C-alpha cells in the first residue's frame, strides 16, 4: 500500500505540472472561443513561438527567463492582435469552418517556417538559476522550477477568472458573449474588445510556452503535440467555461500521469477515453451551460 502511494505521489505532482501548462493553454483557447466563436487552431503555434522566442532571446541576446516571461507574451500578443485585425476579423460573419481552416493554415505556416529556420530537433532551455534545485515538501522532494510553474499557472488562471467574473472589463466580455450587436449600442467598441481578447489568449499561450521551455524540448512541433490534449480538455471542461477548463486541465493532467503507473499502455489514451465518455453522458462538458442558439 505504502509502495503504491510512493509510486503514485510523484506522478500526481508531475500531473499537476502538465496540468498547469494545459490550464494556461485551455483558458486562452476557451476565452477566445467564447467571445470570438473561433476555434483557434493556431494556439499551439503561439505556444511554440512563445517558447522559441524565449530560447532565442537567451541564446542570441543573453536575455534571461524573467525578461522572456514578459517579452515573449508581449510580442506574441501584439502579432496576434495584428493578425486578428487584418485577417481573423473578416471571418466572424461566415461559417465557423473558415476560422478553423484559417488558423490551421497559419499553424502549418508557422511550424514550417520554424522548422526551416531551426530544424525539427528539440532544443534544451536551461532552468533559470534562481529556480534550480529542489524543494523539500515534507513528504517528497520536488524540483523548485516545476513548483514555480504550478504556482504561476494557478495565479494566472485565477486572475483570468476574476478578471472575467468580477471586473467591468469582464462584464463587457460576458455581455459581448451574449449579444455583441446590442453592446455596440451602449457605446462600446466591440471590435476592439475582440482584438484585445484574442491578443490576451495568445499572450497566455506564449506565457505557457515560456514556462514549458525548460520542462519540454523547444521545437517547432511542441505545440501540435500538446494541443491535441488541450482541445480534448476544452471539450471536457465545457466550451467557453473558464472555471470548467481550469478544473479539467488539472484533473486530466493528473489522470494522464497516474494512468502511466496504473496502466502504462493506456496513458496517452486516458484523456480521450474520458472525453468520449463525457460526451455521451454530459455533452455540454463538466461545467458547460447548455446554450440556446442565437
Partner 1 sequence: MRNPPALDVENLHAWYGESHVLHGLSLTVGEGETVALIGRNGVGKSTLMRSIVGILPTRKGSIRVWGADAIATKPHRIAQLGLGYVPEERGIYASLTVYENLVLPLVLSDRGMSTDEIFELFPNLKERRASLGGQLSGGEQQMLAIARILYAGARLMLLDEPTEGLAPVIVQKIGEVIQILKKKGISILIAEQNLHFAGRIADRFYLINEGRVTAALDRDEFLASRERVEVSVGV
Q: Distance (Å, rounded) from C-alpha 102 to C-alpha 70?
A: 28
**Position 185 contacts partner 1 (CB under 8 A):** yes
- Closest to partner 1 by CB, 146 vs 177, is 177
Binding marks (x or -) toward partner 1, 162..181, rule CB under 8 A? ------x--xx-xx-xxx-x
How big is the site for partner 1, counted in residues (CB under 8 A)? 18
- Closest to partner 1 by CB, 31 vs 226, is 31
For partner 1, the binding residue among 2, 94, 186, 290 (CB under 8 A) is 186
**Position 240 contacts partner 1 (CB under 8 A):** no
Contact 66, 128 (CB under 8 A): yes
For partner 1, the binding residue among 35, 45, 149, 183 (CB under 8 A) is 183
**Helices (DSSP H) in the chain: which residue ranges?**
2-36, 43-61, 65-86, 96-118, 144-166, 168-178, 180-184, 190-212, 222-237, 242-262, 270-281
* Residue of 114, 106, 71 whose CA lies nearest to 86: 106
Q: Quick one: cell of 185?
A: 449600442
For partner 1, the binding residue among 144, 184, 243, 260 (CB under 8 A) is 184
- Closest to partner 1 by CB, 82 vs 182, is 182
In this structure, the number of other CB atoms found within 10 A of the CB of residue 243 comes to 17
Question: DSSP secondary-structure letter at 134?
Answer: E
Binding site for partner 1 (CB under 8 A): 168, 171-172, 174-175, 177-179, 181-190
Amino acid at each position: 500500500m505504502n509502495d503504491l502511494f510512493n509510486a503514485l505521489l510523484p506522478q500526481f505532482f508531475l500531473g499537476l505540472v502538465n496540468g498547469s501548462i494545459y490550464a494556461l493553454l485551455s483558458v486562452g483557447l476557451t476565452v477566445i472561443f467564447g467571445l470570438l466563436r473561433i476555434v483557434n487552431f493556431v494556439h499551439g503555434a503561439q505556444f511554440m513561438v512563445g517558447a522559441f522566442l524565449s530560447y532565442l532571446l537567451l541564446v542570441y541576446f543573453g536575455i534571461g527567463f524573467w525578461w522572456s516571461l514578459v517579452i515573449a507574451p508581449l510580442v506574441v500578443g501584439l502579432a496576434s492582435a495584428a493578425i486578428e485585425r487584418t485577417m481573423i476579423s473578416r471571418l466572424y460573419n461566415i461559417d465557423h469552418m473558415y476560422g478553423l481552416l484559417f488558423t490551421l493554415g497559419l499553424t502549418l505556416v508557422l511550424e514550417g517556417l520554424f522548422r526551416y529556420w531551426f530544424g525539427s530537433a528539440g532544443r534544451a532551455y536551461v532552468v533559470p538559476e534562481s529556480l534550480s534545485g529542489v524543494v523539500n515538501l515534507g513528504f517528497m522532494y520536488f524540483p523548485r522550477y516545476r513548483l514555480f510553474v504550478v504556482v504561476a499557472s494557478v495565479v494566472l488562471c485565477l486572475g483570468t477568472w476574476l478578471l472575467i467574473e468580477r471586473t467591468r472589463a469582464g462584464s463587457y466580455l460576458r455581455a459581448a458573449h451574449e449579444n455583441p450587436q446590442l453592446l455596440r449600442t451602449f457605446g462600446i467598441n466591440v471590435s476592439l474588445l475582440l482584438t484585445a481578447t484574442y491578443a490576451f489568449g495568445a499572450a497566455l499561450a506564449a506565457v505557457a510556452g515560456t514556462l514549458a521551455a525548460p520542462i519540454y524540448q523547444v521545437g517547432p512541433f511542441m505545440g501540435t503535440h500538446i494541443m491535441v490534449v488541450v482541445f480534448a480538455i476544452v471539450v471536457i471542461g465545457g466550451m467557453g467555461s473558464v472555471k470548467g477548463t481550469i478544473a479539467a486541465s488539472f484533473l486530466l493532467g493528473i489522470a494522464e500521469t497516474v494512468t502511466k503507473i496504473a496502466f502504462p499502455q493506456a496513458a496517452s489514451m486516458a484523456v480521450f477515453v474520458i472525453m468520449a465518455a463525457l460526451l455521451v453522458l454530459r455533452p455540454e462538458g463538466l461545467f458547460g451551460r447548455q446554450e440556446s442558439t442565437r
